[in-house]
Chain A
Amino acid sequence: MTSNTKPGFETLAIHAGAAPDPATGARSTPIYQTTAYVFDDVDHAASLFNLQAFGNIYSRLTNPTVAVLEERIATLEGGRGATCVASGHAAQMLAFFSFMEPGDEFLAATKLYGGSITQFSRSFKKFGWNAIFVDAEEPENFRKSMTPKVKAIFVECLANPGGVIVDIEAVAKIAHEAGVPLIVDNTMATPYLCRPFDYGADIIVHSTTKFLSGHGNAMGGAVVDSGKFDWAQNDKFKSLTTPEPAYHGLNFYETFGDLAFTIYGHAMGLRDLGPTMAPMNAYLTITGTETLPLRMQRHVENAKAVAEYLEDHRQVEWVSYAGLRSSKHFKLAQKYLPKGAGSVFTFGIKGGYDAGVKLVESCELFSHLANIGDTRSLIIHPASTTHRQLSAEQQKAAGAGPEVVRLSIGLETVDDIIADLDQALAASAR
C-alpha cells in the first residue's frame, strides 16, 4: 500500500507481518518446521551470534513463521515489536525476566486470572521476584503501595473472570511518575476491543491461546513492547542499560534503542529460559488473527445478549458483565471497551454449589472445560474445579464463591446458546 495511508484494523489483521514467501511465492505463511538455519560462512555466523546482523540461528530464539505472528500482534497493538512464546504464562515470565532481579518487587492487581496469581505469588518467589497485590478498583492504591524496589505495575485490562475493568490511563500515570513501566494483560479484550498502548501502557502480554488464535487449538503467548518506555531514565533496569557479559559487554538499550526490549526477549529470554512457540501453533494463531475482528464482533454481540438474558432470569442472583448498565464498571467499559466488554463473564446462581454443579453438568451445547476465547461456548463452575483446592474464604476473595459460574460465550447461534442455558438452569432447579 502507498506509504502514507494508514491501513484499517481488518486489513492489518490479515496482512501485517505476512507477505508471499520470497522463495516460492506461497501466499499463506509457510510453516518453517526447522530447528536451525545454515550460516553463509564463519563471519556470517559470528555476526548473527553477536546480534550484528538480522537473521536466524536456531528456532529456540527465532523462527520465520513465529516472526510473522510477532509482527502481526505488534502491529495490531500499535507496538514496536513482539516476542511470541509457548503460553500466556511464559509471556509473563519473559516480560518480567527482562528487568527483574532477585529481591525486586512489582505491584499487581488483586483481580487477575487465578493462574497468574499463583505464578506471581508462588513460582516467581523462587526467582526472588516479589509480587505485591493491590486492589486496582482505586488506582491511587498503586501509588500508596509503591516502594523503591518496585520495577513494574501489572494489571489485566479486562480481568478474568470478574468483568472488572482497570483504569489503565490512571494507573499508567502512577507507574510513570515512579519511573516504572505498566504491563497490561490484554488477553480478554484483544487489540480489537482495546489498545492499552493508546492509554499509556508500556508492555502488553497475551495468552494467544484465547481470542487471538480463537479456535481452542493452539497454545501460545506474546510479549509486546510499545518501544516508548525510556529504560535509561533511572538505574532500575540494569539488564537493559548496562553491559551484558553474555554478549561481550553489549548494552541492549544503547545499541538497539526502541528495539531493545524485544531483542532482549529473544536473545536473552528465549535463549536462556527456552519457552519457544512451536511454528505449527504460530501458523494456527496467524490464521486465527485473520478473522479476529469478525469473531470479536460476534463474541461481544452474543455475550451481551446472554448477559441480558441471565440478568432477567429468576434463578440468577447477579451477573458481572461490564457491558451491562447495571455493572459498576459500565462507565469504564464505555471508555476502554466501546465496541463491547469481551465475552467472558461470571454470574451467581441461586442454590449455590449444588445448583452450580448441576447447571454445568446439564449443558448440552456449552463445553465444560477450563479455557476461554474459543469459537465454542464454554462453561465452568470454579468452586468445584479450578478453585477447588482453595478454602471457602479464598474462593470468595478470588471471585470463585460457591454460586459463581463462568461463561465464555462462543460464536454459535445466540438463540441456541440461550436455549442451552435455559434448559440447564431449569434442570439445575429440579
Chain B
Amino acid sequence: MFANTVKPSFEKAGHDSYPDTLIRKILREVKVIAMVGASPDWNRPSYFAMKYLQAKKYRVIPVNPKVAGGEILGEKVYASLAEIPEKIDMVDIFRNSEAAGPITDEAIAIGAPVVWMQLGVRNDEAAARAEAAGLTVIMNRCPKIEYGRLNGELGWHGFNSGVISSKRRKLPEKA
C-alpha cells in the first residue's frame, strides 16, 4: 500500500491512534461491508482482506467499476456505492488517499455509518466531512489485521498486538 500512495501525514490529532474499544465495537456491530477497490486478482491485498472477512462471517460487497457486473468470491461487483441495493454498515476503502475523498462523500450520501480507510490511506479533509455528517471514521488501518490483532490471531505470527489481559482471548463476537 505504501508503494503506490502518498505517505499519509499524521499531524492532525484524533486519527493517529484508535482505542481498542472503538475498533472492537465497529467489528462487532458491522455486518455488511462495501469494499471499494476490491480486486478479482487473488494475490491482491484487497482479495486477501475480503476472503478473510468473509471467513469471519461478514458479508462483503465488492465495488469496482472495472469489473462491475462480474463476481468476486461469490459476490456481485457493483460500479459504485450508490448502485448497491442493500443497506451498508461500513465502507472499506482500498484506494489511494486522494481517491478516498469522493468515495467518502458517496459513503455519506448512502448513509453508511462507518468509513474505514485501509493501511496507508488517509484523507483528513474527507474524514472531517464524514464526521460532521455523523459517521465514524477509521484511517490507515486494515480491518483484517485489526480483527486478527484483537482476537489473538496476529500474535500467532509474532506481532505486537498491544493486548494485555489475564482473560482467555475471545473473538470480537458479532451482535
Contacts and interface: CB of A to CB of B under 8 A. Distances in A.
Contact of B21 (A3, A68, A231): A3
Given A254-B1, A255-B48, A54 B158 contact: no
Interface stretch (A7-15, A188-196, A391-399): A7-15
B137 to A, nearest CB: 18
Given A52-B52, A56-B156, A20 B167 contact: yes
A166 to B, nearest CB: 25
Contacts of A274: none
B155 A68 contact: yes
B7 A230 contact: yes
Contacts of A55: 153, 156
A89 to B, nearest CB: 19
Contacts of B154: 54
B153 A20 contact: no
B157 A263 contact: yes
Interface string A71-85: 100110001111110
A47 B166 contact: no
Given A54-B148, A54-B153, A250-B43, A74 B4 contact: no
A70 interface: yes
Interface in B120-175: 120, 142, 145, 148, 152-169
A4 B164 CA distance: 11
Query: Chain B interface: which size bin?
Result: 35 or more
Nearest to B48: A52
Interface string B69-104: 000000000000000000000000000000000000
Interface string B1-17: 11110010000000000
Given A19-B169, A255-B48, A257-B119, A262 B157 contact: yes
Nearest to A21: B168
A20 B166 contact: yes
Contacts, number: 126
Contacts of B19: 3-4
B173 to A, nearest CB: 14
A105 to B, nearest CB: 24
A254 B51 contact: no
B155 A259 contact: no
Interface in A228-251: 230-232, 241, 247-251
B43 A230 contact: no
Most central of B142, B159, B168 by chain A CB within 10 Å: B159
Contacts of B45: 254-256
Contacts of B158: 62, 66-67, 70-71, 74, 81-84, 262, 266
Contact of A254 (B4, B47, B145): B4
Interface in A27-61: 47, 50-56
B157 A232 contact: no
A16 B169 CA distance: 13
A19 B51 CA distance: 27
Contact of A75 (B51, B160, B165, B169): B160
A266 B168 CA distance: 26
Contacts of A230: 2, 7
A257 B120 contact: yes
A417 to B, nearest CB: 36
15 contacts: A4-B19, A12-B164, A19-B167, A20-B166, A20-B167, A22-B169, A47-B51, A50-B42, A53-B51, A55-B153, A67-B155, A71-B155, A254-B1, A254-B2, A262-B159
Interface of B: 1-4, 7, 19-21, 42-45, 47-48, 51-52, 55, 119-120, 142, 145, 148, 152-169
Top-9 shortest CB links A-B: A70-B158, A3-B20, A54-B153, A81-B159, A74-B160, A232-B3, A257-B119, A255-B45, A52-B48
Given A56-B156, A266-B158, 11 more contacts: A15-B164, A19-B152, A19-B168, A20-B167, A67-B157, A67-B158, A70-B159, A74-B159, A230-B2, A248-B42, A259-B157
